[in-house]
Amino acid sequence: MSAMDTEGTVLAAAQGLLIIGPLAVGVVLVAVLVGVVWWGRRKRQQQPPPPLPEEQPRLPDSGPVHEVREHREPNELPPSEHRLTPHELKRTNGS
């Protein structure tokens, strides 16, 4: 074997690693993606099925419920140096 043949062999081996490396990464990536899809399908099968049309929520007999709008006067706080904490505030109808 001459020096030229060994250099060619080393270059061929390096090129082989350049091909095998990305190929191995691609195979691992595909395996991970297949595993994730399999795991997701398995999890989805464990969930209850979607409700039937008869089980869907319905409007009450009285019709749709509308929101109530109120106009309330603001509960002004007197100016002071002391900062009030939430438990020191007056209770309102909403809470």
Is pLDDT of 24 > 70?
A: yes
- Per-residue pLDDT tens digits for 40-49: 999 999 999 9
User: Quick one: pLDDT at residue 81?
Assistant: 80
User: Quick one: pLDDT at residue 27?
Assistant: 96
> Do the beta carbons of residue 15 and residue 21 sit within 8 Å?
no
Is pLDDT of 55 > 80?
A: yes
pTM, full prediction: 0.42
- Per-residue pLDDT tens digits for 56-88: 988 888 888 888 888 878 777 777 788 878 887
Q: Exposed/middle/buried for 83, CB within 10 Å: 0-12, 13-18, 19+?
A: exposed
The tokens describing 25, both together, are: 């990464």
For 95, the enclosing helix (H) or strand (E) is none
Say how many Å lie between the first and final Cα of the chain, rounded. 92
Residue with tokens 């007056």: 90
> Do the beta carbons of residue 92 and residue 75 sit within 8 Å?
yes
